[in-house]
Amino acid sequence: MRMKRSSLFAASALLQNVTASVGAEEIASLFEEASLDRQKFWAKQAECIEWFHPWQETLRWKAPYAEWFVEGKLNASYNCLDRHMKSETRYKTALIWEGERGENRSFTYEELFLEVNKFSNVLKNLGVKKGDRIAIYLPMIPEAVVAMLSSARIGAVHTVIFGGFSAEALKDRIVDAEAKILITADGAYRKGKVIPLKSTTDQALLDAPSIESVIVIENVSNKPLMKEGRDYWYADLMKEAKEYAAPEIMDAEDMLFILYTSGTTGKPKGIVHTTGGYLVGATMTTKLVFGSDPKDIYWCTADVGWITGHSYVVYGPLSNGMTQLIYEGAADFPERNRFWKLIEKHKVTILYTAPTAIRTFMKWGEEWPSSCDLSSLRLLGSVGEPINPEAWLWYYNHIGQAKCPIADTWWQTETGSIMVAPIASYTPLKPGSATFPLPGIEMAIIDDSGKEASSGYLVIKSPWPSMLRGIYNDPLRYKETYWKKWDGEYYFTGDGATKDDEGYFWLMGRVDDVINVSGHRLGTMEIESALVDYPLVAEAAVIAIAHPIKGQAVVAFVTLKDKALKEPFLEDALKEHVVVKIGSIARPEKIIFTADLPKTRSGKIMRRLLRDIAEGRVVGDVTTLADPQVMREIQLQYKEEND
């Protein structure tokens, strides 16, 4: 999908105009300071938040374990709320919420402060102590933000589970984190329908004994069943709660949250982030990438169930005292211009969304945005997957009206905050490139032997404050996944990248068994485990193929047990089974039933060869296969199923 270089440069020249040099000197000096002394640079950046006690040492690094701002004491909720009580920000709007049916609620910083304090007391009254885990399974309503900040306030550890995950996926995460409390809602609205979150929760809790209490927010009023002695209504508990809860004094390295993400095995990884470094990273990058005009109305469309929702809906914007919009609902409800109507109505100045959404909007046509007033916008952002130049230019022209720079931001759940991105007033843009690493971030592209190359694996060369501190309950996996490939010398992102002759980074997507469907990370093994869990399935191999809207789509090759017949219902039944095990984001696009799978002599499934078939390429080297004949049969089968 890459555009020809000549057109890239033409577009880039055009963009020089809009990226005029506001604060350019200041930004240049940030890069300069970071390159001269990275630790000194970060020590200075850490002043972007308030500390109860200063740290003694900026970084203690014993590869691959980092401690940042050693012995510093702080509280993340204090930084997002209490510190604004001392300035005019107290009276500023923090959250503007819009529901799918057009309802609005808003909170000033002071109102949010009061709500969080009360809810912190609710949690304490239910026996939550520092270090306890709290699971949050909510739609995009203000209480999701309240729940996260309250957990942080009392020193608990939140683990937010995306509301689209199934009961089984929810249960797995609760069990792994041994969460004590679950915060959910009666339901969520999606395209005019009610999704009964509470009943999904009840199903998950049949097998999650660590949960002692469930707090339910009334959002859709569908009168769910409430279990006596376990389930409580949020509103009832809030009525009895005291108004102030002192923020817990947290160590910089105390855990702030666990967020589960997919990896290359069947089991999701609980990525651990701690308080000090994470908050410095989220706060500093929000300001650097999105700017700090106090009049901004910022809208990040990510759900709090993903890292983007953590860093760029909750911690980064609130710590910076920004005003932001959050929306619970679909982009095409009631019509395909809902996003543009929201921007027009709330005068949004910064929009941060995902390429998959942009491609969907492209498909729907520019008549939808062009019928709305988008003149309030000043900056656009993109995150979650590579943005192809066509989508980039469409976003630039039809949403940004050829006047808003686009910040294509590369980062991961593990990195905690943005790593590679342009700085709007400074970096000349190229459509489709995330441009350069931010100051203080040292990245490289290397080959198998660890030598720097213009094309290869994307690695991070030195520790950064918001880096993950480990995988919950699985220290070995932390080392093996991220540090083993080059003996602890580099952090391996799992992504491939190239660098052009001007040093611009072009991110190419995953090079491991992780796939990215509509910006959501899924492990091929995770979907395979779900498929083989179906009683008639013997084996499964999952690959991703290019998809015009979703970026990638899931294709599964499945072999059935000996006596099983390939009944017509089976394809749908298997797709549904994956939805039940994981959630609808993992639903396979296609299932191909084959008699066998291509395996090496040691039994490893060669997914690469299956990708060749599915993407219609000449099939690669089959000589290492135990039975090369298998490929011919799969090819025939694939052709038959697609004709």
468 binds ligand WTA, rule: CB under 6 A:
no
> Of residues 512-551, which lie at the interface with ligand WTA (CB under 6 A)?
516, 521
How far does CA 361 lie from the centroid of its chain?
Answer: 20
Using an 8 Å Cβ cutoff, are 457 and 511 in contact?
A: yes
Which of helix, strand or coil describes residue 408?
Answer: strand
Nearer to ligand WTA, 321 or 431 (CB): 431
- Rounded to the nearest whole angstrom, what is the least distance from the CB of residue 15 to ligand WTA in the complex? 17
- Whole-angstrom distance, CA of residue 252 vs CA of residue 67: 8
Q: Which one of 7-15, 59-67, 380-388, 528-536 is the stretch in contact with ligand WTA (CB under 6 A)?
A: 380-388
Nearer to ligand WTA, 210 or 412 (CB): 412
Residues contacting 610, CB < 8 A, separation 6+:
541, 543, 555, 557, 597, 598, 634
- Rounded to the nearest whole angstrom, what is the least distance from the CB of residue 239 to ligand WTA in the complex? 38
Q: Which one of 383-391, 469-477, 597-605, 627-635 is the stretch in contact with ligand WTA (CB under 6 A)?
A: 383-391
158 binds ligand WTA, rule: CB under 6 A:
no
Nearer to ligand WTA, 187 or 523 (CB): 523
> Of residues 173-232, which lie at the interface with ligand WTA (CB under 6 A)?
none
Give Rg (Cα) of the chain: 24
Instruction: Provide the β-strand partners of residue 297.
Output: 323
Nearer to ligand WTA, 429 or 570 (CB): 429
Q: Binding ligand WTA by CB under 6 A: which of 67, 176, 231, 385? A: 385
> Of residues 402-421, which lie at the interface with ligand WTA (CB under 6 A)?
408-413
What is the secondary structure of 153-204 as a DSSP string?
A: HTT-EEEE--TTB-HHHHHHHHHHHT-SEEEEES-EEETTEEE-HHHHHHHH
Q: Binding ligand WTA by CB under 6 A: which of 64, 276, 494, 598? A: 494
Q: Which one of 106-114, 198-206, 384-392, 542-550 is the stretch in contact with ligand WTA (CB under 6 A)?
A: 384-392
Nearer to ligand WTA, 411 or 491 (CB): 411
How far does CA 339 lie from the centroid of its chain?
Answer: 20
- Whole-angstrom distance, CA of residue 295 vs CA of residue 298: 9
3-class DSSP string for 537-550: EEEEEEEEEEECCC
- Whole-angstrom distance, CA of residue 29 vs CA of residue 27: 5
- Rounded to the nearest whole angstrom, what is the least distance from the CB of residue 413 to ligand WTA in the complex? 3
510 binds ligand WTA, rule: CB under 6 A:
yes
- Whole-angstrom distance, CA of residue 461 vs CA of residue 455: 16
- Rounded to the nearest whole angstrom, what is the least distance from the CB of residue 552 to ligand WTA in the complex? 10
Tokens of residue 460, six digits: 């991070």
By CB under 6 A, how many residues form the interface with ligand WTA? 23
- Rounded to the nearest whole angstrom, what is the least distance from the CB of residue 271 to ligand WTA in the complex? 8
- Rounded to the nearest whole angstrom, what is the least distance from the CB of residue 514 to ligand WTA in the complex? 7
Nearer to ligand WTA, 119 or 392 (CB): 392
- Rounded to the nearest whole angstrom, what is the least distance from the CB of residue 383 to ligand WTA in the complex? 5
Q: Binding ligand WTA by CB under 6 A: which of 384, 437, 463, 523? A: 384
> Of residues 235-294, which lie at the interface with ligand WTA (CB under 6 A)?
261
73 binds ligand WTA, rule: CB under 6 A:
no
Nearer to ligand WTA, 79 or 493 (CB): 493
- Rounded to the nearest whole angstrom, what is the least distance from the CB of residue 103 to ligand WTA in the complex? 29
Of residues 557, 493, 546, the one with CA closest to residue 524? 557
Give the type of residue at 612.
D
Tokens of residue 72, six digits: 């510093």
- Whole-angstrom distance, CA of residue 266 vs CA of residue 525: 5
Which of helix, strand or coil describes residue 406?
Answer: strand
Tokens of residue 231, six digits: 């389930």
Nearer to ligand WTA, 265 or 412 (CB): 412
How far does CA 406 lie from the centroid of its chain?
Answer: 19
Nearer to ligand WTA, 155 or 422 (CB): 422
Tokens of residue 458, six digits: 């994307």
Which of helix, strand or coil describes residue 250?
Answer: strand
383 binds ligand WTA, rule: CB under 6 A:
yes
- Whole-angstrom distance, CA of residue 444 vs CA of residue 483: 15
- Whole-angstrom distance, CA of residue 410 vs CA of residue 311: 13
Q: Binding ligand WTA by CB under 6 A: which of 493, 524, 529, 552? A: 493
Of residues 239, 233, 232, the one with CA closest to residue 219? 233
Give the type of residue at 3.
M
Nearer to ligand WTA, 58 or 261 (CB): 261
- Whole-angstrom distance, CA of residue 15 vs CA of residue 280: 30
- Whole-angstrom distance, CA of residue 506 vs CA of residue 509: 9
Nearer to ligand WTA, 99 or 400 (CB): 400
- Rounded to the nearest whole angstrom, what is the least distance from the CB of residue 443 to ligand WTA in the complex? 13
- Rounded to the nearest whole angstrom, what is the least distance from the CB of residue 607 to ligand WTA in the complex? 17
Using an 8 Å Cβ cutoff, are 106 and 91 in contact?
A: no
Give the type of residue at 311.
S
Tokens of residue 230, six digits: 């376990």
Instruction: Provide the β-strand partners of residue 361.
Output: none
Nearer to ligand WTA, 117 or 493 (CB): 493
Q: What mask, x for binding ligand WTA by CB under 6 A, covers residues 295 to 324?
A: -----------xxx----------------
Nearer to ligand WTA, 41 or 472 (CB): 472
Binding residues for ligand WTA, rule: CB under 6 A, are 261, 306-308, 383-386, 408-413, 434, 493-495, 507, 509-510, 516, 521
